[in-house]
Amino acid sequence: MANEKHRILMVSDFFYPNFGGVENHIYYLSQCLLKLGHKVVVMTHAYGSRSGVRYMTNGLKVRFIVGGDGPKRVRLEEMREKHSLQDRVEMLGAVPHARVQSVLISGHIFLNSSLTEAFCIAILEAASCGLLTVSTRVGGVPEVLPEDMVVLAEPDPGDMVQAIKKAIYLLPKIDPQVMHERMKKLYSWHDVARRTEIVYDRALRCSNQNLLERLSRYLSCGAWAGKLFFLVMIIDFLLWRLLQLLQPEEDIDVVPEYIASHHGDREMPQTLNKFESL
């Protein structure tokens, strides 16, 4: 089972694609998985409603530096004009990837106000540049950084203000170079690829329960919820069978074998952070 090769779909959940529509962490992890012999397909799409920029309320005497382009930019600019915050909110627009580090180190605190988040590579990049992170307590964010490197808040304007106040109080104790060195040891793309491989191997070892066993488990979820899940499972199964008839498995294209080439193989960083000097 250890040598089992998997077909993996990577979803690039990008806010507004600027460089190829694929985030760098998706690219690097895909490269590691490909080198381990797995087949990887990357799917990209944009999202807008999940970014909680509307929670960047006024109330603290701090200066916001906003980098990036996309549908939310117009809304932010309108809010800046409405509240006469031109001297406190700087809109940079699209930032070339080579300049991301210089933008990050121009500040002291990195504010992540996402409403939902699976991992958030951005806070790793910020921590690598020595910034103290303030983030909403959503998804997997609380597990990304040690407690002394991030201040968490509920996705609520008042709670975000209190978190920023706490971060300002903690700033004198933060050594950017020490934080950078810690980040270099916390994450490795090759280690992430190995862990991803373990997850797929464990999934394949799980017993493949038949439909009746699965329906029985769904029914035990509760008096009403169980019946609802049972119905959804039936519909899902029928839809799957219909799709099998309309597009048989043997007619689906198979991902071609990956052949590494020096021309198309970008250099792989040893750590997740992309900023080797502060």
Q: Is residue 277 part of a domain?
A: no
Q: What share of the chain has pLDDT > 90, as a percent?
A: 5
What does the pLDDT look like over 152-206, one tens digit per residue? 989 888 888 888 888 888 888 888 888 888 888 888 778 888 888 888 888 888 7
Extended strands (E) in the chain: 7-14, 39-46, 64-67, 89-93, 109-112, 132-136, 150-153
Q: Are residues 29 and 108 in the same domain?
A: no
Indicate the number of domains in the chain.
Answer: 3
Residue-averaged pLDDT of the chain: 75
Where does the pLDDT of residue 141 fall: very low under 50, low under 70, confident under 90, or very high at 90 and above? Answer: confident
Q: Is residue 88 part of a domain?
A: no
Q: Is residue 68 part of a domain?
A: no
Residue of higher predicted confidence among 254 and 202: 202
CATH code of the domain containing 177: 3.40.50.2000
What does the pLDDT look like over 236-246, one tens digit per residue? 999 999 998 99
Mean pLDDT of 105-110: 79
Q: CA-to-CA distance for 240 and 245, rounded, in angstroms?
A: 9
Contact in structure between 166 and 222 (CB atoms under 8 Å) = no
Q: Is residue 62 part of a domain?
A: no
Q: CA-to-CA distance for 187 and 48, rounded, in angstroms?
A: 28
Angle at 140 between CA 277 and CA 112, to 5 degrees: 55
Q: Residue 228 is part of which domain span?
A: 210-249
Give me the pLDDT at residue 12, please. Answer: 55
Give me the pLDDT at residue 56, please. Answer: 47
Q: Is residue 268 part of a domain?
A: no
| Distance between first and last Cα of the chain | 43
Between the CA atoms of 266, 270, 271 and 273, what dihedral angle is there, to the nearest 10 degrees? -40
Q: Tell me the backbone φ, ψ of residue 252, rounded to 5 degrees.
A: -80, 135
Q: With 80 as the cut, is the pLDDT of residue 131 above it?
A: yes
Q: Is residue 191 part of a domain?
A: no
Extended strands (E) in 20-175: 39-46, 64-67, 89-93, 109-112, 132-136, 150-153
Cβ-based burial of 244 (10 A; exposed 0-12, middle 13-18, buried ≥19): exposed
Give me the pLDDT at residue 7, please. Answer: 66
Q: What share of the chain has pLDDT > 70, as a percent?
A: 73
Give me the pLDDT at residue 19, please. Answer: 40
Q: Are residues 172 and 101 in the same domain?
A: yes
Bridge partners of 14, per DSSP, are 46
Side chain identity at residue 65, one-letter code: I
Give me the pLDDT at residue 232, please. Answer: 92
Q: Pick from 66, 46, 50, 148: which is nearest to 110 by CA? A: 66
Q: Are residues 100 and 181 in the same domain?
A: yes
C-alpha distances out from residue 5 to 36, 43, 95, 188, 205, Å? 8, 20, 38, 21, 13
Give me the pLDDT at residue 242, please. Answer: 94
Give me the pLDDT at residue 236, please. Answer: 92
Residues in the chain: 278
Q: With 80 as the cut, is the pLDDT of residue 6 above it?
A: no
Residue of higher predicted confidence among 232 and 184: 232
Give me the pLDDT at residue 235, please. Answer: 93
Q: Tell me the backbone φ, ψ of residue 22, rounded to 5 degrees.
A: -125, 125
Q: Is residue 87 part of a domain?
A: no
Instruction: Read off the tokens for 94.
Output: 């699209």
Q: Are residues 48 and 114 in the same domain?
A: no
Q: Is residue 72 part of a domain?
A: no
Q: Pick from 60, 10, 54: which is nearest to 32 by CA? A: 10
Q: Are residues 179 and 99 in the same domain?
A: yes
pTM above 0.85, yes or no: no
What does the pLDDT look like over 80-93, one tens digit per residue? 888 888 877 888 77
Q: Are residues 164 and 231 in the same domain?
A: no
Where does the pLDDT of residue 78 fall: very low under 50, low under 70, confident under 90, or very high at 90 and above? Answer: confident
Q: With 80 as the cut, is the pLDDT of residue 59 above it?
A: no
